[in-house]
Structure 1
Amino acid sequence: MDRFVRQSPYSSPGRHADRLAALPGDVASLSAASRNVIAHYRAELPDLPEERRGEVDSRWLEAVLELDRERHPAGLDQPRPPEERVAGCCRDHSLLVVGALRQRGLPARTRIGFAHYLAAGWAADHVVVEHWSQGRWRRSDPELGPQRGFDEHDLPTGPEAPFETAAEAWLGWRAGDRDLSRYGVTPESGLCGPDFVRGYVVFEVAHRYGDEMLLWDGWGAIEEDPPDLALTDELARLLVAADAGDEGAEAELSARYREDERLHPGERVTTYSPYGLPPRVVRVGARGGRLRTG
């Protein structure tokens, strides 16, 4: 459990730790602060000026908080105009909440999967928060206010859950129970289908072990051609078993992530801009900074 308390290079607030610490510590307040600091680049900032589009690649929570401080020196819970919030996505909202919880000594992690509640008939790629509370992991969607038919800070899990992990979606497809053509970014984007979900299984493992990469990063197993479907099956099986409390599966998954160079980002990843800009090779440090598997 300790590994989920330690900050990753991505979740660390760095020199802005005092601003994060000044927030109320409950998940609802931290989620509201994340929505106040960060605006979704597609849903809330569709007309973002070209010179600001690089904000979506900020990557590190410290960098996001630095951008915010340059515009708004006031506390993170003091209202910002929507157009002046940092452009980001669900990954960034979740990373801020995870960073704040870890700062308070609480186990927390980001989870990669698909939301069945954002668009009718579509499983939208999504990132949520998991935090350990009262003896179990609770899932929370920091992008949601209290407006759904479920508790956004204690999402149901299991069959027919509103949020489905990438591993669950993949295994459902392999069993013939899922149509993955309806799983992805948007129907119009073309970013959907089995290979898209396959990549998200690798993302799910990386995020679990502290490599909270951008959703448009590519490396190793994500970019393999042809893809290793047996590897994806194995990872998905271990993820689902570990989520169910199987400590042996957790240990096996941790070892596999540590030892298989295809699974974790190295010193560089390829970033594929959601704005359609040419791919860029970006240095992120050895294994994404610090590998946390123990």
Structure 2
Amino acid sequence: MSGDVSGDLAGVCAAARNVIAHYRADLGELTAAQRGEVDSRWLEDVLEVDARRTPGPLTEPRPVQHRVAGCCRDHSVFVVGALRGRGTPARTTVGFAHYLTPGWAVDHVVVDVHDGYRWRRVEPGLGAHGDFDVLDVPTGDGAPFETAARAWLRWRSGTSDLSTYGVRSRPDLSGPSFVGAYVVFQVAHRYGDELLLWDGWGAVADPLAHTALLDEVASLLVRADAGEEGAEDELFARYRRDERLRPGDRVLTHSPFGAPSRVTELGGEGRRVRAEG
């Protein structure tokens, strides 16, 4: 795949947006086939759908309605896959964007890429933004993208109520429980288990029943992002041994369209590749 897109980071992100359209923001009313596309779990599934519909280079412009129905996770998985294919460490990062809907922290997935010197945060879903560089998004306190771990710790410290975090049209998918679930997603995505945002397992099912665990993991995530010695190793070891954090051979897949939930067998498909850098 890496040979099918432009060599620079901006070109890879543009190719992701060219192949994948956001199922809510871009496509409006979806066909039955498009609704199924949002469950394309792995990058090869997305590329297979795209190849059937639009043979040719991934950079060849596609009409919006011909793009694969997906979301921010899929844009990010596309970019990560392309970068890893050329040997560049990259990972998806789960959290909340303060720049997509005024007054709301929208659930979102972006990319962290190691440029040889540091981890750089990238917003693959936007070609540009007036307030920050989408290829080097600011991080830390007050950043436009807030990781789930940071949001959780601010709530636990009493400095945020999280009532405006999540899916604005779905009160049941907003607030502390939703953010807690995203802490689990954040650590899973960090280590290559880039599951659908509507998959469920372990502590995702009832985050507020595991507040002590989430406190610990969120702290480790923030400390690891800050480069604190030993934090990354401790976090990775915790992830590997704790089944509340790590998905096993099956997950419960819900539906963003209200269809009945179903058990998904992952088998050997789970991607558990530590992003080094």
Query: Scaled by the length of structure 1, what TM-score is found?
Result: 0.90
Aligned counterparts of 1:217 and 1:256: Cα–Cα separation in 2: 21
Q: Map of 1:66-85 to 2, 5 A cutoff?
A: 66-85=48-67
The answer to whether the 8 A contact 2:177-2:207 is kept is no
Q: Map of 1:78-227 to 2, 5 A cutoff?
A: 78-224=60-206, 227=209
Q: RMSD in angstroms over aligned alpha carbons?
A: 1.4
CA offsets per residue over residues 80-130 of structure 1, 9 Å max, x none?
Answer: 010010000000000000000001110100000000000000000000011
Aligned counterparts of 1:249 and 1:128: Cα–Cα separation in 2: 22
The answer to whether the 8 A contact 2:180-2:208 is kept is no
Partner in structure 1 of residue 28 of structure 2: 46
Corresponding residue pairs, total: 275
Shift of 1:143: 0.6
Partner in structure 2 of residue 247 of structure 1: 229
Partner in structure 2 of residue 292 of structure 1: 273
The answer to whether the 8 A contact 2:107-2:166 is kept is yes
Aligned counterparts of 2:136 and 2:208: Cα–Cα separation in 1: 38
Aligned counterparts of 2:107 and 2:254: Cα–Cα separation in 1: 16
Letter in 2 for 1:161: A
The answer to whether the 8 A contact 2:34-2:68 is kept is no
Task: Name which of 269, 274, 277 aligns with 2:256.
Answer: 274
The answer to whether the 8 A contact 2:91-2:112 is kept is yes
Query: Scaled by the length of structure 2, what TM-score is found?
Result: 0.96
The answer to whether the 8 A contact 1:23-1:29 is kept is yes
Distance of aligned partners of 1:126 and 1:225 in 2 relative to their CA distance in 1, 3 Å threshold: closer
Letter in 1 for 2:203: A
Aligned counterparts of 2:157 and 2:224: Cα–Cα separation in 1: 19
Partner in structure 2 of residue 12 of structure 1: none
Partner in structure 2 of residue 265 of structure 1: 247
Shift of 1:45: 1.0
Identity %: 61
CA offsets per residue over residues 32-78 of structure 1, 9 Å max, x none?
Answer: 00000000000011211123211000011001000000011110000
- Per mean C-alpha deviation after superposition, the further-off stretch among 35-44 and 223-232 is 223-232
